[in-house]
Structure 1
Amino acid sequence: MKLFIVDDHQLFIDGMRHLLCHLDGVSVIEECTRAEEAIERLEAEDSFDLVLIDLGMPGMDGLAILQRLRETGSGTPVVVVSAEEDIARIGHALELGALGYIPKEQSAIDMLHAVKQVLSGELYVPELVRERLSLYQSRRHPEHGTLTRRQMDVLELVARGYSNKQIASALFVAEHTVKVHIAAILKALNATNRTECVHKARSLGLLD
């Protein structure tokens, strides 16, 4: 398993590297301290199993990395590991395709659990942050409830009968990312399958 840490603090990178070495199957952990360099390396190589990025970095930041990966249609999984407290920026990162948000203040055990959860294909966002995101999204898009803009895009294609592969192609994202979004949508709408999900979404006025 190949991981990539992007953070402007070398001390944090060193600590994260030590922590990630406890994961089974990790063979390579690469690092860099600048978003510009990270983008260049990610465009040249797409074999990373997970990229861990900070949001707040000098110059180009973590959001710029996510935006660039989205523009290029990269399927590289990315999770945000940051001390960022601006819920709008956290929400934007998730909308751009981040598979989760891990606060830097979490304990080593909780952080390792979060990384494992993301690697298993699940979205990771701490409960307190989820509550803040829910409130932020409901104020920003009252008609969308707790769904992000990207999740709404996925939901609309699910309603049209698109398969995960077709959704990934239409939105220029990895099929794995689509699965993560669908899992989050099902959870948000308290649905057990796609049919129930679409039915509930229509009853809530999320779909025409």
Structure 2
Amino acid sequence: MLIVDQQPLFRRGLEEALPAASDGGVRVVAGTDRADSAAMLVRRHQPDVVIVDLELDTPGPLAALAAIRRAQPRLPVLALTRHVQGVLEFLGAGASGVLLRTRSPAGLVPSLLAATGAATRPAPQRTGPQLTGKERHVWTLIAGGASTAQIARALHVSERTVKRLTAGLLRTLGVANRTEAAALAGRAGLLDERRSGSPP
């Protein structure tokens, strides 16, 4: 894993926590706080997954993602963020999923391991009739980092209904939680469907 994050202590914490939590299966091969160094480190270290902080300084996370895509077009890239703002743009540019930043690196590890597993497994087939339109809409909102309350407002339903829809969606996708669902969204072609004008 390569981590492109502006906080060195956060990167160091993940470097220490991930191998222990994954029995050595996941480790950080390199880290940087510079968006313009991301592609060079990808070429040098050949990571399986890249995490990009959406609060990177200029030239910023989108520039980092574009450079990574030029270096390795199929490499899974996960966004790390505190906020929903900017997530859909990053996913729409080709990222594989999103992780919500926690106060400590250790707090992020379970979600990171789940998302890493989802990002590195073979890409699923594009979503077809097995998802209803409402489930696809919920999936899109989850991929954008929306909370249960935000999804409820967007769909004009109760939070209880959103929880029921989300549980059904996770079962259909074969994932364990919302983080894995978000990580799969870009690779399943969901964001491509949105850009081409397909109904949610």
Q: Shorter-chain TM-score category?
A: 0.5 to 0.7
Give the gaps of 5 or more residues in structure 2.
124-138, 156-182
- Give 1:91's aligned amino acid: L
Give the superposition deviation at 1:129. Answer: 2.0
Q: Which residue of 2 aligns with 1:91?
A: 88
Cα distance change of structure 1 residues 63 and 16 upon mapping to structure 2, 3 Å threshold: same
Greater relative contact order: 1 or 2 (C-alpha under 8 angstroms, separation 6 or more)? Answer: 2
Deviations 1:62-95 (A, max 9, x none): 2211122335562111111223x252x1111111
Q: Which residue of 2 aligns with 1:41?
A: 41
* SS of equivalent residue, structure 1 residue 52: strand
Q: Match for 2:145 among 129, 138, 145? A: 129
Matches of 2:145 and 2:28 in 1, distance apart? Answer: 30
Give the gaps of 5 or more residues in structure 1.
139-176, 189-197
Q: Is the 8 Å Cα contact of residues 102 and 126 (structure 1) preserved in structure 2? A: no
Q: Which residue of 2 aligns with 1:206?
A: 198
The reply to whether residue 105 of structure 1 matches residue 102 of structure 2 is yes
RMSD across aligned C-alpha pairs, in angstroms?
4.1
Deviations 1:105-146 (A, max 9, x none): 2665662222222222259996892359869x99xxxxxxxx
Report 1:44-63 matches (<5 A).
44-45=43-44, 47-63=46-62
Q: Is the 8 Å Cα contact of residues 81 and 102 (structure 1) preserved in structure 2? A: yes
Q: Which residue of 1 aligns with 2:179?
A: none
Give the superposition deviation at 1:23. Answer: 1.8
Q: Match for 2:115 among 107, 110, 118? A: 118
Give the superposition deviation at 1:36. Answer: 0.8
Matches of 1:106 and 1:127 in 2, distance apart? Answer: 21
Give the superposition deviation at 1:37. Answer: 1.2
- Give 1:49's aligned amino acid: D
TM-score, length basis structure 2: 0.56
Identical-residue share of aligned pairs (%): 21
Give the superposition deviation at 1:97. Answer: 2.0
Q: Is the 8 Å Cα contact of residues 29 and 47 (structure 2) preserved in structure 1? A: no
Matches of 1:28 and 1:80 in 2, distance apart? Answer: 16
- Give 2:12's aligned amino acid: D
Q: Is the 8 Å Cα contact of residues 35 and 59 (structure 2) preserved in structure 1? A: yes
Matches of 1:56 and 1:8 in 2, distance apart? Answer: 8
Q: Which residue of 1 aligns with 2:9?
A: 11
Deviations 1:158-207 (A, max 9, x none): xxxxxxxxxxxxxxxxxxx999632x74xx9xxxxxxxxx9xx9xxx827
Q: Is the 8 Å Cα contact of residues 80 and 100 (structure 1) preserved in structure 2? A: yes
- Give 2:198's aligned amino acid: L
